[in-house]
Chain A
Amino acid sequence: MDEYRAPVSAHAWRALSYGVPLAFIALFFVYPLVSILERGLGAGGDLDILTDPLTREVLWFSVWQAVASTALTILVALPAAYVLGRYTFPGRGFAFALVTVPFVLPTVVVALAFLALLPEGVERGWAAILIAHVFFNVAVVVRIVGTFWAGLDPRVSEVAATLGAGPWRSLREVTVPLLAPALAAAASLVFLFSFTSFGVVLILGGPRFSTLETEIYNQAVRLFDLRTAAVLALVQLVCVAMAVLATTQLEAKLAVGGQRRREGDVLRPLRTRGEKALAAASLGVLGLFLGLPLAVLVERSFEVGEGYSLEAYRALTRSTNALLASPWEAILNSVVYAAGATVIAVVVGGLAAFAVASSTNGGMRLLDGLLLLPLGASAVMLGFGFIVAFDTEPFDFRASPWIVPIVQALVAIPFVVRIVTPTLRAIDERQREAAAVLGASPGRIRREIDLPVAGRALAVAAGFAFAISLGEFGATVFLARPDSPTLPVAIFRFLGRPGELNLGQAYALAVILMVVTTISILVVERLRRERLGWF
């Protein structure tokens, strides 16, 4: 039988979409991680840590708090995702952008706001940890699920209603199954973030709580017991791999091809009083929950000296000896790094998403899982890994500034893959077939069918990549960095110095970080609309 031969360009595309993500992950994740684990396990020492009852306790706490955080986050975020995914109203884009703000704020700043807000007794401990995880991660669910929702054909639910299904039944039997891929994608990201949570656990958990990640930090950085740290990092990696495997299986099973619709056709204005009340209530509750801590930060940035003043902001314009650069350079550095990380993440993650979505075999699920791993791997060990892996001339990159956006991209890529894949999968195959029958080349199909549909998802993904980079996640904290401070770094420096004005400047910079985040997300949205139309 004569086999169908795809044109060369299709082969090249395939090789590219597999090869680039694989090479990236092998070079900047597997290689450094293997280097440090090898070094740690090769060092002498005992393995008492595995049989230590404390380890089991830590593992158990890591797992249950992550599961609980994920469930709570979805519960809190879903009503808002529904409203934003179904209705259009003034300020909708702004709401999408604002939700992302908590996601980028440095943990220690948010923790200070939480300490001021949470009632005595709840302010530290497991409850505070869960609340903080929900606060940070709501953006993940609202943006991923909300955007996906906005592409679901509302007529399916309408048909169900016509056939006599009540709203509850329609939600359970029609909408939830259709949303499932996006829900699973968001849930897996939230789980991994919470599972490897570090700052939240240290500060808000208080000294009595520890997760695998804080324990790895303790062993590697404080005690310099690399062997124990490596063993714990492996335990963590195994847990993460199991979680990743489970979610990728689940996502593949849940993937349903339904008609993807243009956002413009799906969203409709709020009409009835009931709809308006529902929108106001669900956005209001979320707004209050996210807004209060942010409001505390804003208030404090003005609360310098007697009453309110702009003194902290004014001080930012004067030369400072808290940093090796001016705060304005820090803002610029942040934006430049973030732009670099976004480009890398969108290219590598976008290619991977095409590869994952276009194949149905297990191999691609493996790539998907592999790309998700950096999110759940120990940031401390990865940071150490970079130091030992890239240490030989001419490949001594340990002090290169561009290592920072690369590491940030590592955390952002899973977001891009998670967000873009469900959308690509949901493209009706018949649409592609029809185009092919009409003579369109595979490249043209990709350009004219896949890309526009993926565009919306790519924009959301790019927004996240940008935010992740602005917020300095993961291993970047543990890299040695050249003296080009970013906004979060500048905030830490001011926070670490005594005196009212320093604290005021830390809060003022946090407010500036919020503004920069909001503006960037709005700009990404705007770019998407101009370039790709209202999809």
Chain B
Amino acid sequence: MRALATVCCKVAVGAALLAVAGAGCGGDESPTDVVLVTHDSFVMSDDVRSEFEQSSGLELRVLQSGDAGELVSKALLTAGNPQGDVLFGVDNNFLSRALEGELFESYESPLLESVDEKYVLDQEHRVTPIDHGEVCLNYDKAWFQDREIEPPRSLDDLTDPRLEGLLVVENPATSAPGLAFLLATVARYGEPGWEDYWRRLRERGVLVVDGWEEAYNVRFSGSAGKGDRPIVVSYASSPPAEVIFGVPRPKDAPTAVVEDSCFSQIELAGVLRGARNEDGARELVDFLLSTRFQEDIPLSMFVFPVNREAMLPPEFETFAVVPESPLELPPEEIEANRDRWVKEWTSIVLR
């Protein structure tokens, strides 16, 4: 019955679409464009984009949807017959799932010479690191100064009674930074230590919200929302953003990062298996690693370039902390346990 329905549908599709077929595709001629499939937060400056288009002679088309997790799920649905040529935005949290799904073709960009080995997560070069942006606890400097309370310096500090009821985090089941922070605690305390840690956080009145938007814009006291929680899970690049987008621009960042809590987030790109324009795809990966694009990254996507030759904008030089050795977990370990950890976290913290 289901098969019959499908056949009927396919016949209907065929019949209905033949009518518009003439207008479609260009067939096997060499493609004049290259399609970048990416997440919702991807941005690049206009002039950087047109520079790529001019130097490559290709039109750059961008397809966006959801966050890193959704991006990978959709790419898995279309593995081998992808929606575009390059995928950018898979991170270390979902990397193993993407590699197991055989999404990518290997490509070793010559520009990898200027990238630290620690960012190269796949030795077969099926994916290429493009940026890193650590997820860290941020705190409201004025809140702690006014009350003469010592701000947190480490993950351990959060279980201290003096910081009771001050922390807001995102739900790891629905939020990327929320997941990264859960992984940070697993990396720090191991199993089953992280579970006890979260039990203590719960006793200390940790507030869990659905996403970063509510946590940072509403609950956090250090940003525009003026909430009542002075500690929040956000990014290492949030303090410079507070300066750049402050009205009026403050002289000093109103927030600071707890370096000890930072979890490594690396975003990678890869040439999609079955890409229509494979040459263009490689060219695009090279471009994403070039200093031109890399220097555009901080102020457009608020993460850090991996190319060590790329210069940081002054606000990042002054107000951003690049953690020396952020917490990390091997992608395979994340893939093997992520869903279980989130489930256990839910029963410890929410039920």
Contacts and interface: CB of A to CB of B under 8 A. Distances in A.
A221 B2 contact: no
B318 interface: no
A501 B246 CA distance: 6
B247 A500 contact: yes
A53 interface: no
A398 B208 CA distance: 36
Given A31-B13, A208-B350, A480 B74 contact: yes
Interface stretch (A242-250, A389-397, A447-455): A389-397
B210 A203 contact: yes
For the side of the interface on B, what is the size category? 35 or more
Contacts of A206: 208-210
Interface stretch (B110-118, B234-242, B278-286): B234-242
A408 interface: no
Contacts of B81: 391-392
A26 B12 contact: yes
Contacts of A112: 213-214, 217-218
Given A499-B223, A501-B246, A501-B247, A391 B78 contact: yes
A398 B83 contact: yes
Top 9 closest A-B pairs, CB basis?
A: A499-B245, A305-B247, A394-B24, A501-B245, A480-B65, A500-B224, A31-B9, A498-B241, A483-B62
Nearest to B300: A321
Interface stretch (B40-48, B147-155, B156-164): B40-48
B74 A497 contact: no
B142 interface: no
Interface string A198-224: 000011001110000000001011111
A9 B246 CA distance: 66
Given A207-B171, A208-B350, A322 B214 contact: no
Interface of B: 2, 5-6, 8-10, 12-13, 16-17, 21, 24-25, 35, 37, 40-46, 61-66, 69-70, 72-74, 76-78, 81, 83-84, 97, 171, 173-174, 208-214, 216-218, 223-225, 234-235, 237-238, 241-242, 244-248, 299-300, 302, 339, 342, 346, 350-351
B246 A224 contact: no
Contact of B173 (A116, A207, A306, A391): A207
Given A116-B218, A396-B25, A399-B35, 19 more contacts: A23-B12, A35-B6, A39-B77, A203-B211, A221-B69, A222-B173, A224-B97, A305-B247, A309-B247, A324-B62, A398-B83, A480-B74, A480-B83, A481-B63, A482-B63, A498-B216, A498-B223, A499-B242, A504-B247
Contacts of A138: none
For the side of the interface on A, what is the size category? 35 or more
Interface in A142-198: none
A101 interface: no
A30 B5 contact: yes
23 contacts: A23-B16, A31-B10, A112-B214, A112-B217, A116-B218, A202-B174, A221-B69, A222-B339, A223-B339, A388-B77, A391-B78, A392-B81, A398-B83, A478-B70, A479-B65, A482-B61, A482-B63, A496-B41, A497-B245, A499-B224, A503-B217, A503-B225, A504-B224
Contacts of A266: none
B261 to A, nearest CB: 17
Nearest to A389: B13
A113 to B, nearest CB: 10
A247 to B, nearest CB: 24
A500 B247 CA distance: 7
A108 B61 CA distance: 28
Contacts of B174: 202, 207, 222
A387 interface: yes
A39 B214 CA distance: 35
B246 A384 contact: no
A51 B225 CA distance: 43
Interface string A478-491: 11111100000100
B12 A222 contact: no
Contacts of A500: 223-224, 242, 245-247
B185 to A, nearest CB: 17
A388 B2 CA distance: 17
B282 to A, nearest CB: 20
Contact of A480 (B37, B213, B350): B37
A116 B5 CA distance: 49
A497 B136 CA distance: 15
B246 A499 contact: yes
Given A321-B300, A483-B61, A34 B6 contact: yes
Contact of B6 (A38, A394, A502): A38
Interface in A289-316: 304-306, 309, 311
B235 A115 contact: no
Contact of A495 (B74, B171, B213, B339): B213
Interface in A458-493: 478-483, 489, 492-493
A394 B5 contact: no
Contacts of B12: 23, 26-27, 31
Given A34-B6, A108-B213, A499-B244, A393 B24 contact: yes
A503 B224 contact: yes
Contact of A220 (B73, B171, B217, B350): B73
B45 A321 contact: yes
A221 to B, nearest CB: 5
Given A31-B10, A482-B62, A498 B238 contact: yes
A393 B25 contact: yes
A481 to B, nearest CB: 6
Contacts of B246: 499-501
Contact of B70 (A31, A221, A482): A221
A480 to B, nearest CB: 4
A323 interface: yes
Contacts of A482: 61-63
Contacts of A393: 24-25
A498 B215 CA distance: 11
